[in-house]
Amino acid sequence: MEQSNQFLGTESIGKLMRKYAVPCVISLLVAALYNIVDQIFIANASYLGSYGNAANTVVYPLTVVALAFAVMIGDGCCAFVSICLGRGGKEEADRSVGNAVVLALLVSFILTAIYLILQDPIISLFGGIVNEETYACSKEYFFYITLGIPFYMFGQAMNPVIRADGSPRFAMVSTLAGAIANIILDPIFIFPMHLGMMGAAVATVIGQVITAVLAVWYLLHMKTLKLAVSGLRLRGEILSRMLPLGITSFLSQISLVAAMAAINNMIRKYGAMDPVFGLAEYAQIPMAVVGIVMKFFQIVISNVVGTAAGCIPVVGYNMGARKNDRVRELFSRLLLTEALIGAVALVIVEFFPHQLIAIFGAANESSYYTDFAVRAFQTYLCMIVLACINKACFIFLQAMGKAAASTMLSVVREVVFGVGFALLLPRFFGLNGVLYSMPVSDILTAVIAVYLIVRTYRELGTGKTESQQAQAGAH
């Protein structure tokens, strides 16, 4: 029996944030843990160590590219569905779900084929040739992770759709089930079975299969929406309105890949000039360490993105219903929450970096490993509070239907600043320049974000926003 989402326009904002954001945060945290759990067990396996850790950093962008396409489809569909339901367009919402399913499958198979065909160039692009041991580990891990890409993409793309249907808890449970399987299988495959990088990858893929299967089951038993055969035919008019709403999510992920390519290659280039890391036995350390720091950042950002993305159905519905006062209240609560998340993370990286790096096998490595890791945590993430607020701003604007402003801010932060400073600053500061690129980018982005935040508040307080006016004109 179909249910109504009208409670999104009447229930208290605080209660709705808890209901939607908490399961979304847990879902994204669990998704982030897939790769991080691999890295923790790999780092603590003496026969893999920092070579396996560096290999994990090399291959990690593969999953980020896949995730970028998945969240563009899933978040775009989620925002579009919520806006449609807010103005009573259920049939259009149903069709968008079918289009999201087909597009996710189509893109995942194309991406898998590209990965398999271009395996060696991709490994080289992300710094896998830093030394022979890292290259061998990268190639093994790469192949098996690639085989799981269709399952990974489908599960991640359908997660926001499940939330839009009003089941954030199921979205959380489906991701959690796969992650638990990965956590159980990882130590079994890596330690007693001694399967190395292949074992870590296979454990991850098995977890992804479980999440994808649960997503399929849910799509056949949806509450508010309906997956009809007629909706499985791709429609340009639906995709042209759905995908722009997910483009910010895409750019925030895909630009991370560009930044990682730039950072990894700068690390390889300027690490070779370092008196310590220029030695063959230590060459993989900077890449392994920066990968670990970025994984910690991903955990923090999973909290940030989960909190903001969990609010997308609430924002979209109230925008569609023209309840701007509720949207404004939600924006205020969201910005405060994201700032608090960033503040907690800042305390951790500035005061407890030794404890963080100890989780990733520091006991098995030289003192150079720990020293560089402490410096990396404290420098690279020193402006993490601003990073959290910036990210929340991207996603909230996207949920409001302000795709152009959201996309512009995301492109400036992730591509112009993120990649640009990663390439520029090492020329002046060597390896330290790589670490400076993150805080400099976040400071400059925050200047633009503050302007957009103030402008959004004014729009919400003076009647229709630009996106509401555009929707009114289209109907």
Structure tokens at 53: 């850790």
438: nearest Cα among 317, 293, 321: 293
CA 121 to chain centre: 24
What is d(CA 234, CA 375) in angstroms, rounded to the nearest whole number? 49
Q: Please, what's the b/e burial string for 79-100 (b: 16 or more CB within 10 A of its CB; e: otherwise)?
A: bbbbbbbbbebbebbbbbbbbb
Q: pLDDT under 50 in the chain at which residues?
A: 1-3, 468, 471-475
DSSP at 89: -
Structure tokens at 153: 């993409």
Concatenated DSSP letters for 221-235?
A: T-SS----GGGGS--
CA 187 to chain centre: 25
Coil/strand/helix, residue 393: helix
Domain boundaries, the chain: 13-463
Owner of token pair 């399987």: 181
Q: What is the pLDDT of residue 1?
A: 35
DSSP at 3: -
Those residues with Cβ within 8 angstroms of residue 164's Cβ, 6 or more apart along the chain or in another chain: 77, 78, 81, 82, 225, 312, 313
462: nearest Cα among 327, 317, 321: 327
Owner of token pair 């890449």: 287
Structure tokens at 359: 């989780």
Quick check: 227 and 94 in contact, CB under 8 A? Answer: yes
19: nearest Cα among 162, 169, 177: 169
What is d(CA 120, CA 136) in angstroms, rounded to the nearest whole number? 11
For residue 372, give the amino acid letter.
F
Structure tokens at 57: 């950093």
Query: Taking the alpha carbons of 7, 10, 11, 16 in that order, is the dihedral positive or negative?
Result: positive
Q: What is the pLDDT of residue 379?
A: 96
Concatenated DSSP letters for 49-67?
A: HHHHHHHHHHHHHHHHHHH
Q: What is the pLDDT of residue 465?
A: 54
Read off φ and ψ for residue 195, nearest 5 degrees.
-90, -5
Give Cα separations from 229 to 2, 238, 442 (angstroms): 18, 16, 45
What is d(CA 33, CA 257) in angstroms, rounded to the nearest whole number? 18
